[in-house]
Amino acid sequence: MRNQVLISRYARGLVGALRDEAELAAVHRELSAVSRLLRTNLELAAILKSPFIPKKKKDQIIKDILAASPPGPKTARFLGLLIEHNRLDVLEDILLVVPALWRERQGVPTFEVSSAVSVTPRQKERLQAELERLEGRPVFLEYRVDPGLVGGLSLRKGNVIYDVSVEGRLAKLKEKMMEG
């Protein structure tokens, strides 16, 4: 993702403005529709992202496009903010971050679980139960397969990485051997 600080700032602002799950779902759905439109209509995306097109013209273009299915006021304000600051190009990245920030706001930490092969449903249940026991609260797990791992798992929670992969263990062993 490009410019994590910028993306995080906008995503946190959006999440902070939302009241509940229903509003989150509505705003996310509306913004996702705009993001899909920009992804599939490159000419429109170029016009809306251009710093040479006046903001009022961009606002009118968005209003005309969304007239058939008008978005809620928070979605409209957020799109206006992105257009005003020429940040529409990070909308897709913002939408990727919003769900994790919402869970964080609700007190549910997100763990990114990387494994060499797909984790079985039984392994997922056991891992979820163990992490919830260690955290003392519900957790959300995002799984992905990382062919670069030799075996085992790598867990990431925010900036903290718990590496229980074969590769990680070999790296620790190498480090110990280098120390003497």
Domain boundaries, the chain: 4-103, 107-179
- How far is residue 1's CA from residue 89's CA, in Å, rounded to a whole number? 11
pLDDT score recorded for residue 88: 86
pLDDT tens-digit map of 133-180: 999 999 999 999 988 877 778 888 877 887 776 666 667 767 777 776
CB contact burial 83-94 (16+ within 10 A = b; e otherwise)? beeebbebbbbb
Closest CA to 79 of 58, 99, 101: 58
Closest listed residue to residue 161, CA positions, set 99, 127, 113: 113
- The predicted model gives 106-115 an average pLDDT of 90
Strands 160-165 and 152-157, how do they pair?
antiparallel
Segment 92-102 mean pLDDT: 93
How are beta strands 110-115 and 152-157 bridged, if at all? antiparallel
Q: Is the pLDDT of residue 1 over 50?
A: no
Task: Give me the pLDDT at residue 78, please.
Answer: 93
Contact 106, 49 (CB under 8 A): no
- For residue range 37-48, what is the model confidence (pLDDT) as tens digits? 889 988 988 888
